[in-house]
Amino acid sequence: MNASDHRLLNDLQVYLQAVIDKGLEWASRHRVDPASYPELEQTSGFAATCFQYIELVDNAYLYQKQLAAGDLSVGIDKQNYLAMPLKELQANLRHLTWQAQQVAKGDFSQRVHFMGDFADSFNAMILALNEQETLQQERSQLQEQLFQSQKLEAVGRLAAGMAHEINTPAHFIGINLDFIQQAFTDVISFTEQVQLLIQAAQDNDLEIPSKIQALEETLAAIDWDYLSEEVPKALNQSQGGIARVAAIINTLKEFSRPVPLGKTLVDLNQLIAETVAVSASEWNRVAEITAALDPHLPFLPLLEEPMRQVLFNLLVNSAQAIEDQQHQTGTTSKGTITVQSRRGDAELVEIAIRDSGVGISDAVINKIFDPFFTTKEVGRGTGQGLTVVHDIIVNKHGGSLQVASESGVGTTFFIKLPCAYVAVPGINQDESLIVESWGGA
């Protein structure tokens, strides 16, 4: 072995020891250049093998660096046996990436059976996500069941209320028609006497005086003065009753018209007015309602049917609170319900529904939105109404729902809804509030 061989072997020994001590990154930066030993033939002998090994080490480090940077597409030379563990790691990471993508799509059946402790943690995470997804689905199903239950309850209340509202004018229309029918019978009897008198006059009948007397007696019997005064009144009342029934039916048709399943731009003020009108049977016995509606409200992106449900539930809740207040105080005077809409700021529209009812005590006010919680007696409250209201406002519209109350004074519900301003030419251009009242004497 000549001096050059000794020098090369010594340099390689120092280099390999440095690789052992300092790692692959150092090796990649400090390579032994074969050109430094021109006297050697690199295609043979121990030196050439060492240089090949150094090349494999360098490539393995580059592969490792690319994998560490997240590049799973790097091509690893199959001939580089030093990089074979990296190639296996690359395959595992690719498969793990695919599994993570499947989990993101909702496939929670994926399991990792490699990579030791990491696999256990990954599988535990999938199980936790699966449980969370199951709970979310159950919660969504429960909320949908609550909403459908509330819809059915509201339909039942509306049907009963509409039946009552229609029955009242229908009843006096029937009474008036009976009166008009009897009056018409009397008039027919009178006209028969008139016809007999006319015939007698045409025949120069000597019994004309007696027929005139019979006519006068018939006129007295049917009380013509009374009929001439009351029949027009009965007709006017019947026409008013028919108009009232028609108005109720039109309101109910508008309230129950098919609406899109998704959000649409809705005139909130009109929605409030329609809901107040159609729920009249729930509150008109115990309260008078005043609505102060901001005419400059934008059309809001709303789920129309659920939003009707919100307004209906809160109006019913206010009416029941006022009724409870009447029972507790022994008063028969009507309470008040105020519905207000206004533009909060550039991003929000606010609704306030205020009543003069019994109020909510501090002990339970934080529970009123909990499912199935109610302070009403059995058969009067299911504990679902305010839960559904909260879900629709907060979860379905991204709004907020707050309540302020004082026992014996009343309660106010504050709703805030996000809005996308859509100006409609010719609509709601008046500078003043739209103020409407219902339920007055």
pLDDT in tens, 87-118: 777 777 777 777 788 877 878 777 877 666 77
For residue 121, is it within any domain? no
- Residue 293 inside a domain? The answer is yes
> What pLDDT, on the 0 to 100 scale, is given for residue 44?
47
- Candidates 172, 160, 148, 97; CA nearest to 306 is 148
pLDDT score of 428 = 44
Cα separation values, 397 from 9, 182, 266, 348, Å: 77, 59, 13, 12
CA distance 116 to 222: 106
Give the residue from 192, 219, 253 where a domain finishes. 253
The verdict on 286 and 398 lying in the same domain is yes
130 within some domain? no
Is 110 domain-assigned? no
pLDDT higher than 70, residue 287? yes
Domain final residue, candidates 88, 104, 120: 104
CATH number assigned to the domain comprising residue 382 = 3.30.565.10
Residue 409: pLDDT over 80? yes
Structure tokens at 313: 């539930």
The alpha-helical segments, DSSP class H, found in 264-356 are 268-278, 280-283, 304-329
Q: Do 324 and 358 contact (CB within 8 A), yes or no?
A: yes
User: Tens of pLDDT along 320-369?
Assistant: 999 999 998 888 899 999 999 998 777 899 999 999 999 988 888 888 88
**Total number of domains constituting the chain:** 3
Lowest mean pLDDT among 122-131, 149-158, 179-188, 403-412: 149-158
Are 308 and 247 in the same domain?
no
* 42 backbone dihedrals φ, ψ, rounded to 5°: -80, -10
Are 357 and 368 a contacting pair, CB within 8 Å?
Answer: no
Cα 422 → chain centroid: 20
Q: Is residue 350 part of a domain?
A: yes
Which pLDDT does position 254 carry in this prediction?
62
240, 281: one domain: no
- At 197, which CATH number? 1.20.58
| Residue 42 reports pLDDT greater than 70 | no
Average pLDDT along the chain: 77
Report yes or no on 434 lying in a domain: yes
Q: Are residues 199 and 275 in the same domain?
A: no
Task: Give the residue, 42 or 194, on which the prediction is more confident.
Answer: 194
* 92: containing domain: 3-104
The pTM (predicted TM-score) of the whole model is 0.50
Q: What is the token pair recorded at 419?
A: 């809005």
Please indicate, yes or no, whether residues 237 and 324 belong to a single structural domain of this protein.
no
Are residues 275 and 249 both part of a single domain? no
Indicate whether 315 and 195 sit together in one domain.
no
Whether residues 13 and 73 share a domain: the answer is yes
Whether the pLDDT of residue 421 is over 50: the answer is: no
- Which of 9-23, 194-208, 381-395, 424-438 has the least mean pLDDT? 424-438
What whole-number distance in Å separates Cα of residue 362 and Cα of residue 348?
28
pLDDT band at 436 (very low <50, low <70, confident <90, very high): low
Contact 433, 295 (CB under 8 A): yes
- In terms of domains, do 413 and 325 share one? yes
